[in-house]
Structure 1
C-alpha cells in the first residue's frame, strides 16, 4: 500500500465522506483517515434520547439516499449505520482508527523521495492520469499509524471533540459535577438532583427539557433567547450562511448559528414552556462549593452544571502550517484557506451542517481536481 496520495481527507463524518465521494468520482488518488473505531463520525456519540425526530434534518450524502427510519429511532444508531453502508457502497478508502497528530510542509528530502517513487512506478503514470508528476510543495501527514505524503489536504474533523467550557471565578471549588453534551448519556442520572444548564443553543434547550422531567433545573444564558415561531425557510438559511461566510472570509470565528437563526419553537419546546422549564436567568457571576451565585445576591444550589456552551473547530493538528492570522482566526476563500488552495476546511463555518457539508465536499473536490490535474478535462457531471 502506497502512503503517497494526491489528497488526504481527515475525518469521515458527513463532510469527509462527501468530499471523498466527489474526489474518487473525479479520479483523484486519496485516502480518508478517521480517528473513530467505527463509521458514524460524531453521530455515534450523541446521547441515546436524541431521536431522528429531534435532530435537525439529516440530509442524504451524495449518491445514496438516507434509508427510511422511524422518528423514534436513536440518531446514534441510524446515522452511523447509514455512513457505514455509504463507505461500503462506494468502496471509499477509509482507514481507522487513525489519529492525525500533525500536518506539516514536507521537507525537501521527502519531495525528492516522492519524485523517485514516481519514477519507479513509471514515468508515464502522470501523463496517463493527468497527475502532476513533479509537485513543487507537498504535505506530510503524521498519524498514530505512520506518515502519509500528499499534494493536498481536506480537513473534515468537525467540532465534537472540542466542547467549549468558559471559565468563571471559583469554578475549581465547585464540589458538584461539571459536564458537556459530549458526556451526557441521559436524564436518569440526574434524578432528584438540582441541575444548572448553561447555554442558549438548540442542544441546551433540548437537554434542559429532558432533565427537567426528573430533576430541578435552572437555565442560564448570556443573552435572552430569541424564539422563532415561523418555520426556518430557504431565505433565512441563505441569510444565515452569508453572515457566517463573511466572518470566515475576514478570518473571524464563525460564531453561533443560533445567534443568527434564533431558536425554533417546536411542539416539545411549547410543552417545556408550559411546564415553565424555559424560564431563563442571566448567567451567574461565580461558583461556590455548593452551587452558583450572582452579584445581586441570588444563589442556586447545584449538584451538576451542564455546559451546553458550544464547540470549537478541531484544528490543532493543522497548527504547524501556520494558517491562523494575527487575530487567531483562519481567513477562508470558499472552502480553502486564503493563500493556500491545497488546504480545504469542509464542515467548517458556513458548511457546518449536513447540507452545507455536502456542498463543501463537492466544491473542494472540484477545486482540487482542477488544481492538481489542470491538463485533464472535468467530467461533464462535475
Structure 2
C-alpha cells in the first residue's frame, strides 16, 4: 500500500472568492489561525475570485448587487475602472488585512474519505486531512454549453460568457446572443452598438422586473432556490428566479429594438441558425450566455449527489456528510448570500467539533498514512 504524507488541520476552505473569503473571515473571528487550524486553497492565479476574469467593458459602475465582504467596506472605487481591477484589488487588500494567507494557485483534484474519520483533500500542493471542509468553488469554472444539431459545422466563431472579450471584437459582424440572463442582456446591448446585426435568442421569454425589489420578494426568491437544494435538485440561480431589473439602459435598448427576443433555434448551419418553420439568420458569431454549473466534481468521491442530480443541503451542510459545507451554492450563490452562508458554515462546524469525542487537534500535523484511493481500488477488485 502506498504511504502518503498528509497535513492535518481543522478546516480546509476550497475557493477564495466572496464565499471563501467570507468563510475564512468567520473562521478568524472564531479564533482559528490560518495555516495552523485552517487553510484556504484557491486555484486562481491572483485574488479576485471569478471577478478577475470578467471582461474589460464591465466597469465597476455597471456591476449590480455587489455586497462588501464582512468586516471591510469597499470605498472610493472609480466607477469607470474595470470591475476585475476594482474588485480584484479589494479582495487582495481584504486577504492582507485579515491575514488569510490564501494558498494559490492550488488545484483540488479530489476530496474523499480519509483515515481516522478525517476527509482527504488531494491537491497540487499535497494532501490535506481536515475534520471539515467548506466548499466555496462557485460556478465560473464550469460554463454550460448547450448542444444543438449542426453545431460542429458552424464556420463562424462560438464563445461563452467565460471567454467573452468585450464588444470590440464583434465590430461589423453578425452576432447571435443566446441566453436570457443578466450576462446575455449585457453582452447583447454593448455588441449591438458595434455589430452589423444582432439576434437575441432565449429558451423562455425573458422576465423583466420593474420597480423596487423589496425584502419580501427577495426572501421569496431565495426560498424557491433553497427548496430545490433541500430536495437534492440542481440549484437554480437566484437571478433566474427574480428576473432582470429593468434599467434605463435596458429601456433604451428595448425602444431601439435590440431586446426583441426570438425563441430557441432548432439547428445550427455552417452559416448561421435556423428554425423548424424555415426562418433562418446568418451569423458570423454565436455568443453562448447560457450560464454556469456548480464546480463540485472534486467532491464526487464522497457521493454527495442525490438521484435528482444535486447535493441536498440543509443550511450549508451537505445532508449526506455533515463535515462538508457548501457556501455560494444554491440560495447562497450571491454576494450577500455568500457572506451569510460563510458565517453559518463556521457556526455549524464549531457545533460539530463540540460534539463528544470531537476534540481539537491542536494545530497541523504531518502523517504518513495509506492512500485512501488505493483502498477504493482494492475494494473494487
1-side partners of 2:45 and 2:354: how far apart?
A: 33
- The equivalent residue for 2:93 is 85
- The equivalent residue for 1:49 is 57
Deviations 1:249-271 (A, max 9, x none): 00111124333211111011112
2-side partners of 1:194 and 1:259: how far apart?
A: 27
Question: For 2:161, what is the secondary structure of its paired residue?
Answer: coil
CA contact (8 A) 1:248 1:331 kept: yes
Deviations 1:24-69 (A, max 9, x none): 2112310000001111100000011111222122211111111221
1-side partners of 2:23 and 2:122: how far apart?
A: 21
- The equivalent residue for 2:344 is 363
CA contact (8 A) 2:144 2:290 kept: yes
Q: Aligned residues, how many?
A: 348
TM-score, normalised with respect to structure 1: 0.89
- Whether 2:23 is the aligned partner of 1:19: answer yes
TM-score, normalised with respect to structure 2: 0.89
Structure 1 residue ranges without an equivalent (≥5): 112-136, 377-382
Two-structure CA RMSD over aligned residues (Å): 1.5
2-side partners of 1:247 and 1:223: how far apart?
A: 20
- The equivalent residue for 1:143 is 123
1-side partners of 2:264 and 2:61: how far apart?
A: 30
What aligned pairs does 1:272-287 form with structure 2 within 5 A after superposition?
A: 272-287=253-268
Question: For 1:3, what is the secondary structure of its paired residue?
Answer: strand
- The equivalent residue for 1:310 is 291
CA contact (8 A) 1:173 1:288 kept: yes
Deviation, structure 1 residue 2: 8.4
Find 1:71's aligned residue among 79, 90, 94: 79
Find 1:100's aligned residue among 104, 108, 115: 108
1-side partners of 2:122 and 2:342: how far apart?
A: 23
- The equivalent residue for 2:186 is 206
Structure 2 residue ranges without an equivalent (≥5): 359-381
Deviation, structure 1 residue 240: 0.4
- The equivalent residue for 1:246 is 227
Q: Which runs of 4+ in 1 moved over 4 A?
A: none
Deviation, structure 1 residue 374: 4.4
- The equivalent residue for 1:192 is 172
Deviations 1:125-184 (A, max 9, x none): xxxxxxxxxxxx101110111111110100000000111111111111111111111111
Deviation, structure 1 residue 308: 0.4
CA contact (8 A) 1:156 1:347 kept: yes
Question: For 1:273, what is the secondary structure of its paired residue?
Answer: helix
Find 1:352's aligned residue among 333, 337, 340: 333
